[in-house]
Amino acid sequence: MGTPMRRSTVPNWHVRRTNETMRLIITTFVGIIFGFLLGVSFPKLSLSKVNVSSNIFSSIDLTYVEDKHSGLSTQALLNIWSHLRGRRARKSNDTEIWVPTNPRGAERLPPGIIVPETDFYTRRLWGLPGEDLIIKPRYLFTFTVGYEQKNNIDAAVKKLTENFTILLFHYDGRTSEWDEFEWSKRAIHVSVRKQTKWWYAKRFLHPDIVAPYDYIFIWDEDLGVENFDPEEYIKLVKKHGLEISQPGLSPDSGMTWQMTKRREDTEVHKDTEERPGWCTDPHLPPCAAFVEIMAPVFSRDAWRCVWHMIQNDLVHGWGLDFALRKCVEPAHEKIGVVDSQWIVHQTVPSLGNQGEAEKGKAPWEGVRERCRNEWSMFQDRMTAAEKAYFQAMGIDPPNSTAR
Ligand SMILES: *[C@@H]1O[C@H](CO)[C@@H](O)[C@H](O)[C@H]1NC(C)=O
Ligand SMILES: *[C@@H]1O[C@H](CO)[C@@H](O)[C@H](O)[C@H]1NC(C)=O
Ligand SMILES: *[C@@H]1O[C@H](CO)[C@@H](O)[C@H](O)[C@H]1NC(C)=O
Ligand SMILES: *[C@@H]1O[C@H](CO)[C@@H](O)[C@H](O)[C@H]1NC(C)=O
What value, to the nearest 5°, has the Cα angle with vertex 209 and ends 207 and 212?
Answer: 85
Which pLDDT score is estimated for 214? Answer: 98
pLDDT at 42: 47
Q: Phi/psi at 327 (nearest 5 deg)?
A: -95, -10
Task: Assess whether 71 and 144 both reside in one domain.
Answer: no
According to the model, what pLDDT value does residue 1 have? 39
By the 8 A CB rule, do 168 and 187 touch? Answer: yes
pLDDT tens digit string along 118-170?
999 999 999 999 999 999 999 999 999 999 999 999 999 999 999 999 999 99
Range in 209-213, 242-246, 367-371 with the lowest mean pLDDT: 367-371
Residues with CB under 6 A from ligand 4: 398-399
Note the pLDDT of residue 280: 87
Atom of ligand 4 at shortest range from CA of 399: 1
Do 256 and 145 have their domain in common? yes
The whole-number pLDDT of residue 3 equals: 40
The rounded Å distance from CA 93 to ligand 2 centre is 6
- 123 located within any domain: no
Question: 51 with 144, same domain?
Answer: no
Model confidence at 370: pLDDT above 80 = yes
Give the total residue count for the chain.
Answer: 403
What are the b/e assignments for 248-277, b being 16+ CB within 10 Å?
bbbeebeebbebbbbeeeeebbbbbeeeee
Same structural domain, 277 and 200: yes
**Ligand having the closest approach to the CA of 50:** 1
Is there a domain that residue 372 lies in?
A: no
- Tell me which residue has its CA closest to atom 3 in ligand 2: 93
* Coil vs helix vs strand at 353: helix
Angstrom distance (rounded) from CA 45 to CA 52: 8
**pLDDT the model gives residue 213:** 98
Domain-embedded: residue 230: yes
Find, among 368, 327, 124, the residue nearest to 243 by Cα.
Answer: 327
Number of domain units in the chain? 2
Among 401, 206, 371, 139, CA closest to 289: 401
pLDDT digits (tens, 9 = 90+) for 292-340: 999 999 999 999 999 999 999 999 999 999 999 999 999 999 999 999 9
The predicted-structure confidence for 190-209, as pLDDT tens digits, reads as follows 999 999 999 999 999 999 99
Residues ≥6 apart with Cβ < 8 Å to 269: 263, 336, 337, 339
Whether 116 maps to a domain, the answer reads no
- Among 347, 341, 318, smallest CA distance to 156 is for 341
* pLDDT (mean) for 379-402: 86
Q: What percent of the chain has pLDDT over 90?
A: 64
Do 244 and 352 belong to one domain? yes
One domain for residues 16 and 163: no
- Mean pLDDT to the nearest integer, 35-55: 46
What CATH number is given to the structural domain containing 321? Answer: 3.90.550.10
Report the residue among 134, 140, 161, 236 best suited for mutation to probe ligand 3: largest number of ligand atoms under 8 A from its CB.
Answer: 161
| Residues 57 and 153 reside in one and the same domain | no
Provide mean pLDDT across the span 27-35.
Answer: 61
Same domain, 255 and 317: yes
Closest protein CA for atom 5 of ligand 4: 399
Q: List the Cα angle 324/326/329 in 5-degree steps.
A: 110
Give the per-residue pLDDT at 253: 75
User: Do residues 43 and 148 both lie within one domain?
Assistant: no
Q: Which residue, judged by its Cα, is nearest atom 4 of ligand 4? A: 399
| 104 in a structural domain | no
Among 282, 233, 241, smallest CA distance to 262 is for: 233
Mean pLDDT of 183-192: 96
User: Is residue 344 pLDDT above 80, yes or no?
Assistant: yes
Centre of ligand 4 to C-alpha 386, Å, is 16
- Residue 259 DSSP SS3: helix
Q: Is residue 229 part of a domain?
A: yes
Is residue 167 domain-shared with residue 260, that is, in the same domain? yes
**Domain extent for 69:** 2-95
Which of 88, 90, 93, 107 best tests ligand 2's pocket when mutated (most atoms within 8 Å of CB)? 93
CA of 330 to the centre of ligand 3 (A): 29
Predicted pLDDT at 251: 84
- Strands 215-219 vs 188-191: parallel, antiparallel or unpaired: unpaired
Q: Is residue 110 part of a domain?
A: no
Q: Each residue of 350-364: pLDDT tens digit?
A: 566 666 777 777 788
Mutate which of 1, 8, 28, 47 for ligand 1 pocket (most atoms within 8 A of beta carbon): 47
Query: pLDDT tens digits for 50-108?
Result: 444 444 444 444 444 445 555 456 666 666 666 666 555 555 667 899 999 999 999 99
Give the model's pLDDT for residue 53.
Answer: 45
Residue scoring higher pLDDT (331 or 366)? 331
Per DSSP, what are the bridge partners of residue 345? 223
pLDDT at 248: 96
Q: Is residue 399 part of a domain?
A: no
Same domain, 356 and 269: yes
Distance, in Å, from the CA atom of 155 to the CA atom of 169, rounded to the nearest integer, reads: 17
Residue type, 104: R
Q: What share of the chain is helix, strand, coil (3-state, %, to 5)?
A: 45, 15, 40
pLDDT higher than threshold 50 for residue 13: no
Same domain, yes or no, for 70 and 144? Answer: no
For residue 98, give the ligand 2 atom closest to its CA. 5
Instruction: Give distance in angstroms: CA of 395 to centre of ligand 4.
Output: 15
Q: Residue 30 — pLDDT band, cuts 50, 70, 90?
A: low
Residues with CB under 6 A from ligand 2: 92-94, 96, 98
